[in-house]
Structure 1
Amino acid sequence: MRRLWWLVVVVVICAAGGAFASAVEGPSTVDLGYPEAGESTSGPPAAMPMSTAELLQELTPAERLNARLSLEGVSGLGEIERQMALQVEALWAEGRFDEAISLLSQLEAGGARLAAGIAWRQPVASEPKVRGADARIGGTRQGAEDVALDFDQETGNLFAVVAWQDTWTMNISTDGGVTWSETYDFGSSGPVDAAVVDQYLYVAYSPGSNRSAARMRRFFVTDGLPDDAYFYHEVADVFPDTILDVSLGADVEIVDGRLYFYFVESNNAIRYYYATGAGLGWTNVATGVTNAASNLDFHFSDGTDYFSWISYWGTDGTGHSLGRSRAGTWRSHTLSVVPNDERVRVSAYLDNVFASYQEDYAGSGRLAASYDVTYNEGADWSSGWAYLPDAGEPNCYGMDITARGGWGTAVIYNREAGFDSVYLVNREGYQSGVWNDPIAFNEFDAFSGGPSFIQYLKPLEAFGVVYLAGDTWATTIPYFDVIGALPFTDGFDDGDTSRWSNTVP
């Protein structure tokens, strides 16, 4: 994760032009168009983590005054170390920042491994979003790598947890994504995900450079501030193994009372835990997965037997999905084709489950936004593509998909064409059918090959999207936008008047 202290949310979708999915699902496809020289389509590079003292040293005087500091041991602390950590917190609370940082440096030099959580006394506002403009999340921060986006139906508040090189941040919007404020900064790198259940947004993470602990924090949905009484709960410690990726979800559409937590270990196993909405006692259930490598994703499917679905990239060099039934049985699926990159995403609604990926269509070099789909809870699968570029057109990268909420299916992706555009393409319902024309929505040049993020946002009755803009992983900036559901293909949204008619039906 990157060091900077801010949050961003993005969603991306493949571009206009080219072929569209037929009414009947068929084989996946590929599209041409490559990133600009110097832009990478691989994941973020490994960074040398800064010490917690170094992170605090970089805060401005105003940020120090605004920061309420709490220290968390990445590994077990002895009594002397624990007392020194408490003294650091006390010095900070008294405004003796340099003394606190100096003592923390001594503590870390002695071998103690700590992470710093910062709750902002006054939430840090991002630049306001003018009407129709993409909203930047994170103020002046750069270097976003991952985003978790969710909402609370009762308050209408939106949440974006953003992972940076050496930290992750908690962001809230109380006005439908027009403006965002950062309420919390956790000064440690590692995988992170988030989900709303009951009265809290829960954040799953693994702190530190030697990540063996799977932990949980929670924040109030009313204001995005941390629940200090909950502090953090350790779900598991897998030492001597480490945690490579995490994914978190909840049953908020049905019961609003249970959390589901998966993570990938360095021994290639996937662990699964669940808990009530209190987020206290966690129950472990064996998955039997021993071939997981990266890119873990989770989705809860309401109103169906197989309610829990994950997707992941395997050590066998292809993508997989796995569903769990209420009776405790598992259904596994290996993607119908080998994806062209490791990003595999899953989403579901009732019996319908989608796994999206990038496909080299028929080995042609045309990289398509493709998917595998089941309409009967994983008993049978077929494949198709949401967008297949014409020969010579730019390729599709950084796909994400959502089927949440009953609004049909939507896919996002970006395409390299000088100015990298981000597209959303959707179709009504969930059964096989024609996809609507893709719509480009980003105002800033997207990061070539970078990931994009999409979430159905019930309070807005629309899709929330986040994309990353920038030229390198060190300069990526997350931007948030809202895209209404697209129930018609009359060209109105994209200004194509060729399909308009003055004939009264």
Structure 2
Amino acid sequence: MRAVVMVFLLGTALAVAQELPVTGPTLVPARSWSRSDAVPAEPEQGQAFQPVWERLAAMSPAERANACISVELPGSAPAEAQELARAIEGEWNAGRFDSALELFGELGRLVNPRDVAVGCAWREPIPTVGADWGSDIRVGNRDSISQIQLDIHRASGNLFAIVLFQQGASWYWAVNFSTNVGASWSETYYLMASVPLRSMNAAVVGNDCYIVYGSGSSNYTLRVRRVSVTDGTLHEFQGGVFYVDIATYTGADSIREIAACSNQDQSDDRLYFLPLCYSGKLVYWWSDTAAVTWRNTPDIGVTDAWFGADACFNEGFDSTFIWVSYVATDNTARLRGRRGAGWRQFYSVPCEGTVPNTNTSVGARHDTLLYAFVRPGSVNGHVSYIANYQGGNPGSSWFIGYVGGDTMVRSESPDVTFRAGGGSAIIYRYYTSTRELRYVWRRYSGSWSTPVSVADNEPYFDHPAIEYLGSSRYGVLYLTWNSPQRRAAYFDRSDWTGIAEQRRLVMDENILNVLPNPMNGVGRLHYTLNRPAHLAVRVYDRSGRQVQTVFEGSSSAGQHTLRFDATSFAPGVYFVRADADGDILTVPVTVVR
């Protein structure tokens, strides 16, 4: 990690671009781009259809024992199918796996197998494994990820990273959870479907993180699940149900993407979801933390939305308390806000119309609004921003500027955060020969900091995520391009820089070793601590199931050796995970016979 990465500046920002007033609230579109309104056909990417229960059947015995499942059906499913789904859950979760799999076959005759999804709550969360101990931390063990979302539970500092990905002929989203501000992550839950999951988002409010997604064979149903902010485990809704259907659409109203936010940083009692449909409709839904009764008034009045939607709550608002941005079908980036009893359009500006790396992003706090998008240029598109310092009130001035200053090099995929008094920050992908993820910051107005590159790995072009973590720290979640894994999720933090980052590890690099490796009986585990710590050393199999605790207790600084007995282990690969006061290292070990 570079020694200057993401330093949180207070009053020391350097000017990198001139912010200019614009003459009016609307600019004329500069050019048009081709698009298609057709709902994508499925299955995608040449994958043959496979019912989700075949994935369950392929689980190892350890994975089956670790998985507590819930069966998801369309809202139109008959009562007989709903009862059978509950019976399947009971059989599987009681350990009668073969019986549950037989019942799945019966379920497939009552409902379309394409409309059946399965949620899996891990009894023992699966830690991120592997030896990628650079400065950035890998989040989960998944790759080929297409979407990521990051949010924080402000009171505890616990983090959620939600990832959407495809594996074989199945589509998933998964919850990754961190209790140490991103130093380590574990997967606590995933949802699996046999048809494309094209959209998901997440927001934390109250005691839960709510994950909203398009469900069903054509993504017609807007559905929400939730997990606890305490431990990341699945949290039932009223009546003991695992999910709530907010709305079901038909025809061209299949859900393309979803914007989401909450008022966690103010009243901590409201959720806001805004699905964008292939028909061009943008729909507004809101609820309280029970998330059972949903309202869609007032109508947002948008029928020409294309893609790139984002939403934010305006903490400490004057009159406009929620903002939404999106790219319209005429290749303009639009900004709308709910003021009083209705919605109004505040701004429209020309933008690029290339999916998905020209998304919009919006942040607001008190009377200051920041709105980022990709602006067409004479040579290359470049991330730009619109700012207003009077809440968008009538007669107020709007200002426009480039992010990063250099408009000769393409930039794209911006994300904005403006929460909890941490100032305003933007991250974006910078199109140098080796792509970079760049970061700029300022308090609420004035000059921006000099852009710095924040990722150790070359970033993928899909939308990255940034959040303010408190205590003058920011966190960033991004996807890698092809290395060290193909589209894997990684996390970085603004205070993990240079020597300071190296010191955050209690354990020095290359000090956790198992000898011999491979081993066929009893071996030795060697480790070194640079200061006293509470140490837990546990062994996990490839399914994430804990199979042994080697040591747990206080350990002094210095070099140590533990006896490691693997005589009862089946041949295969295992992972030794050492946790020293929250700093974690994992090494693989192979057992042979």
Structure-2 separation of matches of 1:313 and 1:58: 42
Offset of 1:374 from its aligned partner? Answer: 1.8
The residue aligned with 1:76 is 76
Structure-2 separation of matches of 1:450 and 1:216: 23
Structure-1 separation of matches of 2:432 and 2:99: 51
1:463–1:485 contact (8 Å) kept in structure 2: no
Does 2:242 correspond to 1:231?
yes
Counterpart of 2:478 (choices 464, 467, 470) is 467
3-state SS in 1 of match to 2:359: coil
Matches within 5 A, 1:360-379: 360-361=376-377, 363-365=378-380, 367-379=381-393
The residue aligned with 2:219 is 211
Does 2:403 correspond to 1:386?
yes
3-state SS in 1 of match to 2:157: coil
Structure-1 separation of matches of 2:133 and 2:145: 24
Matches within 5 A, 1:348-367: 348-361=364-377, 363-365=378-380, 367=381
Structure-2 separation of matches of 1:355 and 1:51: 42
**Larger CA deviation: 212-221 vs 235-244:** 235-244
The residue aligned with 2:137 is 135
Higher relative contact order (CA 8 A, sep 6+): 1
1:465–1:481 contact (8 Å) kept in structure 2: yes
The residue aligned with 1:56 is 56
Does 2:182 correspond to 1:171?
no
1:335–1:372 contact (8 Å) kept in structure 2: no
Structure-1 separation of matches of 2:462 and 2:258: 19
1:311–1:319 contact (8 Å) kept in structure 2: yes
1:193–1:204 contact (8 Å) kept in structure 2: yes
**Cα deviations by residue, 1:359-390 (Å, 9 ceiling, x for unpaired):** 232x122x322112222222443211121326
Structure-1 separation of matches of 2:259 and 2:125: 26
Structure-2 separation of matches of 1:423 and 1:149: 17
Does 2:254 correspond to 1:254?
no
Offset of 1:177 from its aligned partner? Answer: 0.2
The residue aligned with 1:347 is 363
Q: TM-score, normalised by structure 1?
A: 0.81
Matches within 5 A, 1:46-125: 46-47=44-45, 48=47, 50-105=50-105, 107-108=107-108, 111-112=112-113, 113-125=115-127
1:143–1:475 contact (8 Å) kept in structure 2: yes
The residue aligned with 1:149 is 150
Counterpart of 2:350 (choices 328, 331, 337) is 337
**Larger CA deviation: 176-185 vs 147-156:** 147-156
1:462–1:484 contact (8 Å) kept in structure 2: yes
> Which residue identity is paired with 2:451?
P
1:220–1:227 contact (8 Å) kept in structure 2: yes
% identical aligned pairs: 30
3-state SS in 1 of match to 2:350: coil
The residue aligned with 1:296 is 309
**Paired positions, count:** 448
Structure-1 separation of matches of 2:184 and 2:21: 40
3-state SS in 1 of match to 2:283: strand
Offset of 1:19 from its aligned partner? Answer: 9.1
Counterpart of 2:328 (choices 314, 319, 326) is 314
1:368–1:395 contact (8 Å) kept in structure 2: yes
The residue aligned with 1:278 is 290
3-state SS in 2 of match to 1:302: coil
Offset of 1:206 from its aligned partner? Answer: 1.8
1:129–1:178 contact (8 Å) kept in structure 2: no
Counterpart of 2:189 (choices 184, 187, 192) is 184
Structure-2 separation of matches of 1:277 and 1:83: 27
Offset of 1:469 from its aligned partner? Answer: 0.5
Matches within 5 A, 1:6-21: 20-21=16-17
3-state SS in 2 of match to 1:284: coil
1:462–1:485 contact (8 Å) kept in structure 2: no
The residue aligned with 1:31 is none
2:368–2:390 contact (8 Å) kept in structure 1: yes
Counterpart of 1:478 (choices 479, 485, 489) is 489
Does 2:450 correspond to 1:437?
yes
Q: TM-score, normalised by structure 2?
A: 0.70
Structure-2 separation of matches of 1:51 and 1:22: 55
Offset of 1:174 from its aligned partner? Answer: 0.4
1:206–1:243 contact (8 Å) kept in structure 2: yes
Q: Which has the larger radius of gyration?
A: 2
**Larger CA deviation: 219-228 vs 73-82:** 73-82
**Cα deviations by residue, 1:113-170 (Å, 9 ceiling, x for unpaired):** 211000100011114899872111112x111121221111222211111111311111
The residue aligned with 1:395 is 410
**Larger CA deviation: 172-181 vs 382-391:** 382-391
1:340–1:359 contact (8 Å) kept in structure 2: no
**Cα deviations by residue, 1:329-383 (Å, 9 ceiling, x for unpaired):** 323144322235341111111112222112232x122x32211222222244321
The 1:101/1:470 distance shift into structure 2, 3 A limit, reads farther
3-state SS in 1 of match to 2:177: strand
Offset of 1:481 from its aligned partner? Answer: 0.7
3-state SS in 2 of match to 1:63: helix
2:19–2:400 contact (8 Å) kept in structure 1: no
2:19–2:399 contact (8 Å) kept in structure 1: no
**Cα deviations by residue, 1:204-235 (Å, 9 ceiling, x for unpaired):** 11213311211221211111111133521111
The residue aligned with 2:439 is 424
> Which residue identity is paired with 1:69?
I
The 1:206/1:373 distance shift into structure 2, 3 A limit, reads same
1:200–1:221 contact (8 Å) kept in structure 2: yes
Identify unmatched segments of 5+ residues in structure 1: 1-10, 13-17, 29-44, 487-491, 494-505
The residue aligned with 1:35 is none
2:351–2:374 contact (8 Å) kept in structure 1: no
The 1:81/1:405 distance shift into structure 2, 3 A limit, reads same
3-state SS in 2 of match to 1:236: strand
3-state SS in 2 of match to 1:283: coil
> Which residue identity is paired with 1:315?
T
**Larger CA deviation: 314-323 vs 381-390:** 381-390
- State the Cα RMSD in Å: 3.1
3-state SS in 2 of match to 1:406: coil
3-state SS in 2 of match to 1:164: strand
Structure-2 separation of matches of 1:395 and 1:450: 15
1:251–1:259 contact (8 Å) kept in structure 2: yes
